Structure 1
Amino acid sequence: MVVLLLMAVSASTGQAAGLIDLKLSGQGEPSTYLVWDLIKKGWDKEAGLKMTQTYFDSGMAQVEALPSKQWVIGTSQGGVPSLVAALRYGTYTVAIGDEDSFTNAVLVRPDSPIAKATGTNPKYPKTYGSADTVRGKTVLVTTISSGHYSLATWLKVLGLKEKDVVVKNMDQGQIMAAFESGVGDIAVVWEPFMFVGMSKGWKMMNEDSQMGANQINTIVVDRKFGDENPEIVAKFLKLYFRRVDTGKPESPEEIAGYIKFCKEWAGIELSQSDAALSLKWRKMYPLDQQLKFFDASKGKSEVQTWFTQLADFFVEQNKFTREEMDKALNSGFITDKFLKMAAAMK
């Protein structure tokens, strides 16, 4: 997906009424909602920060905004764009925003022959489609994203590669509009768009092909900013995990808050049932568990392993060279420094 929320501090960190300005950006999804909500509660100001958020429609759009200093800290950045950000701009990945392995959907219309092809791979009984029904079809997808990765894993389960289909690169809003008007055979979208599509009767083809994919949205930090302002990064993380700890995804209040956020901030209309699914399917991890995921004291950390698998996959798909991926993986972009600082804060 295109999986994190990007956040930003201006290059010269400004202050207003004693508060440090922190410019944030992201997408309409749960981890972005948590930050939006903590701002509404005034927690940022209690911590001496003044956070503001700007909307982006994909992780790569967020990455492309980095050189213009539109952000310096980000959450809800998908694993794929996070890797690209590290490769191109040397960013840090400092935490997991949420897990989104099952919130990137390969959708077809209800009358599609693809939906009627079952049992192709016995290891994945809830993965639909076949080589014969999918080969040559037109796919609408946001490329270099978590959705792109989900598409490729689905094709792999069916015994196909990306070269076997026709890929059309679009942002998520464009995909929704185009697919509804009859363009394309397959649409790949993440939540909340996937739930909107499913409410229209579109069928999900990859219900279990993402098992073990370990797709995550991450919190990304501009390296220069992180090196110069580690305490601000740690303070943000402390606030984020405070909100994670107090979250109750299935409560009526949380669902209502998420619906309001999607409508007012992201311009997305969600039903109560779709909002509930969105919150339920996005797994959030508390600070103590994240420290374990990032722990590299006994060798490669779990997060490093996940990104290595992701890099290997895209090399196999000829999307990046081995040299490019090795450069990113060996840059030290995955760090637990800021998590440890946040854990030490009172």
Structure 2
Amino acid sequence: MLFARLLAFVMAAALAVPGFVCASPLPTVRTAWLAEHEAFAAWYAHERKWDAENGISLELVLFPTGKNLVDNMRGAGCVIGGAAAVFGLLDKRIYVIGVGSDETAANAVYVRPDSPLLALKGENPSYPELYGSAAAMQGKTVLAPVGTSAHQLLYFWLERLGTSDAEAIVIDTKPEEALKAFMGGMGDAVALWAPDTYKAESLGLKRVATGRDCGITQPILLIADRKAADADPAAVTAFMKAYLKAVEAISALPKEELAPLYQRFMRDFAGQEVSVEVARADLEHHRFLSGDEQRAIFRSRAEGGLLQAWIEDVVRFHEATGALSRRQSKALEGVPLATSRFLDEAASH
């Protein structure tokens, strides 16, 4: 009892001293990520204490797949995440609030060095960098993780060649198993993403298509739980300010400093040891977008905005493969839950 009175007296005396501030912990904002490039900026923002500078403490939670992330981020108490977001938009759980990373160059379709597809380039003059042809792909077997960005690339490659999934044979293969199975002799082509794309090239496989070759963009989107964002929009704006500051700083770092930093990020956050070569390749094949670039992307189609077209490509792919019904696709037209509000607020402060 005496100790409690003494403690109260000491606290009262301290508070009476001008300039004394009783420190209180910053509110934690839990965020959801895959072990991929887009999480790098969030990790670096926390590392440099730019989250604290904006009045929050970021906590990064690792998820195994994008679908798992979108399905479970609310249950895990995560306010913000980085993922392909189409299915979260369907039941109106999330807002699209930004672009985490452009991974278009990180996905690719590969064949063996002796593949006859390599003798066929530019069959579609609108896409002169693509290899293959509709006739050459009839009945051919392609390994791909179905429903993913690698599968989306495969879909558009085949479409640009004048054929489709229905004319080829697509075998659903987990990403970590696809390259191994292909090297073991299974299939005629394989659709991969980083870091397996780097392994494929080191093994001598030949690239026949990328998203850029197909004229598509494959972004990882920044998403926010609608309920949490509506309840505390200031926390989402604070995250966006810290994230974009990290993007700016990362973009300005010399290359010789960036790769070791990325290696540390992968080790500390993802628990993965990656070589300096893989780190450099990941940084080369992924791109962060500045705040100004992102705000331009969020403009309407009439104003030159690109986000709606990017997401419509994803929706069309999922409808073509049966993952979305026509009614569901119609519900996603115009991307009504994509908002630049938090980007705008971050820029204005």
Indicate the TM-score class for this superposition, using the shorter chain for normalisation. 0.7 to 0.9
Q: 2:266 aligns to what?
A: 262
TM-score using structure 1 length: 0.83
User: What does residue 198 of structure 1 align with?
Assistant: 201
Partner of 1:234: 237
- CA deviation profile, 1:256-284 (whole Å, cap 9, x unmatched): 11123234433555443442232123232
Partner-residue secondary structure (3-state), 1:52: strand
In 1, Cα distance between the equivalents of 2:128 and 2:111? 17
Report if aligned partners of 2:144, 2:170 keep a CA contact under 8 Å in 1: yes
CA-CA distance at 1:230 after TM superposition: 0.7
Instruction: Supply the distance in 2 between the matched residues of 1:233 and 1:258 (Cα, whole angstroms).
Output: 25
Measure how far apart 1:218 and its partner are. Answer: 0.8
**Which of 165, 170, 175 is the aligned partner of 1:172?**
175
Q: Distance in 2 between matches of 1:274 and 1:222?
A: 32
208 and 124 in structure 1: CA distance in 2 versus 1, 3 angstrom threshold: farther
Q: 1:332 to 1:236 in 2, by over 3 A?
A: same
Write out per-residue CA displacement over residues 34-54 of structure 1, whole angstroms, 9 at most, x where no aligned residue: 222222223323333332323
CA RMSD of aligned residues (A): 2.8
Question: How far apart, in 2, do the equivalents of 1:124 and 1:299 lie?
Answer: 26
Q: Structure 1 counterpart of 2:39, which letter?
A: T
Note if contact 2:112-2:204 (Cα within 8 Å) is conserved in structure 1: yes
> Structure 2 counterpart of 1:341, which letter?
E
1:128 equivalenced with 2:139 (yes/no) = no
Match of 1:108 in 2: 111
Counterpart of 2:78 in structure 1 is 71
Compared with structure 1, are the counterparts of its residues 229 and 319 closer, same or farther at alpha carbon in structure 2 (3 Å cutoff)? same
Q: In the TM superposition, what is the alpha-carbon distance from 1:219 to its structure 2 partner? A: 0.3
Q: Deviations over 1:10-69 (max 9, x none)?
A: xxxxxx951222223322332211222222223323333332323334322322324533
Matched letter for residue 276 of structure 1: R
1:306–1:266 distance in 2 versus 1, CA, 3 Å = same
Counterpart for residue 11 of structure 2: none
The range that moved more, 90-99 or 229-238, is 90-99
Distance 2:186 2:267 in 1: 26
Superposed CA offset, 1:107-147 (max 9, x none): 22333333444343333333222334433233222222222
Paired residues for 1:39-118 under 5 Å: 39-66=46-73, 68-69=75-76, 71-75=78-82, 77-78=83-84, 82-118=85-121
Q: Using the alignment, how far apart are the partners of 2:63 and 2:188 within structure 1?
A: 26
Identity of aligned residues (%): 28
Per-residue deviation at 1:231? 0.7
**Aligned residue in 2 for 1:289:** 293
Contact 2:211-2:218 at 8 Å conserved across structures: no
